[in-house]
Structure formats: C-alpha cells, structure tokens
Structure 1
Amino acid sequence: MQIKTDHIEILTQKQVAEILQIAPATLAKWRCCGGGPSFLKIGALVRYSRASVNEWLRSVEG
C-alpha cells in the first residue's frame, strides 16, 4: 500500500526492501546499527519516504 500525502510518498519496510532487493531484516539491522535510508516512526510503524530512499541510493551510488 502506497500512501501519497501532499506529494510525499510513504513506503512500508516491505516495499523498500523490494525496491532495494534486500531482506526486510537487513533494513531492520540498518535502523538499529546505522546506515540505510532515513525512516519515520509513526507510533510502532516504520515508514520511509520515497524521497529519502532515492536520496540514500544516490549517496551510495558508486
């Protein structure tokens, strides 16, 4: 499920893992230990903005 709010596209952990072609557990490890795209905590939910994922990808691009 993608949610668009005022031009901000919010993604779930599963969606980001699919985009990056990694396991959701890898994202969880990055959140815990540092690294990976910045994320939002909405209560107990973890979400990512599409912009932050794209920005992170540009920063690690070789």
Structure 2
Amino acid sequence: MIPMQAAQSSIDADALIAEVQAADFLRISIRTLQAWRCRGAGPAFVRVGRAIRYRRRDLLAWIEANTVTSAR
C-alpha cells in the first residue's frame, strides 16, 4: 500500500477535474456544489467553454479556509 503523502505528491494539484469528481472529493452532492457556485460561495472554479472544472489545489485551499478549529 502507498503511504498517503506519497500518493498525494504524485497527483497534479493544478490538474482540472470535473464537477462530479470535485463533489466526490468534497463528499457532497453535485447539486450542493452547483448551488454554492450560483450563490458565489464554495471553492474557486474554472469555466472551460460550457464545462465547469475545479483544481485540486483550490478544493484543498477552500477546505483549509473553512476548517473550524474550535466551537465557542
């Protein structure tokens, strides 16, 4: 089995992934991702013609920005 860090380092963080893959990566529905995009919320995305794509780097940055470390 490949260690997680080794597996992640072999993935191109700037590669564009489809909306379905981005939703799966975030463990949310595609409809939620679409709703966030329409409201101007959620991770940054790239429009390629009519297609929507996401960079893994942007998904990871969005996760970090929305991580809550303590509940007050």
TM-score normalized by the length of structure 1: 0.84
1:14 maps to 20
Which protein is bigger by CA-based radius of gyration? Answer: 2
Distance 2:36 2:67 in 1: 17
Structure 1 residue 54: deviation in Å? 0.5
Determine the structure 2 residue equivalent to 1:35. Answer: 41
In the TM superposition, residue 19 of structure 1 has moved relative to its aligned partner by 1.0
Q: Name the CA distance, whole Å, in 1 between partners of 2:19 and 2:66.
A: 19
Query: How far did residue 11 of structure 1 move?
Result: 1.0
SS for the counterpart of 2:15 is strand
Aligned residue pairs total 57
Provide the alpha-carbon RMSD of the alignment: 1.2
Superposition TM-score, scaled by structure 2 size? 0.73
1:57 corresponds to which letter in structure 2? I
Q: Percent identity?
A: 32
Structure (1/2) with the larger strand percentage = 1
Tell me, which stretches of 5 or more residues in structure 1 are unaligned?
A: none
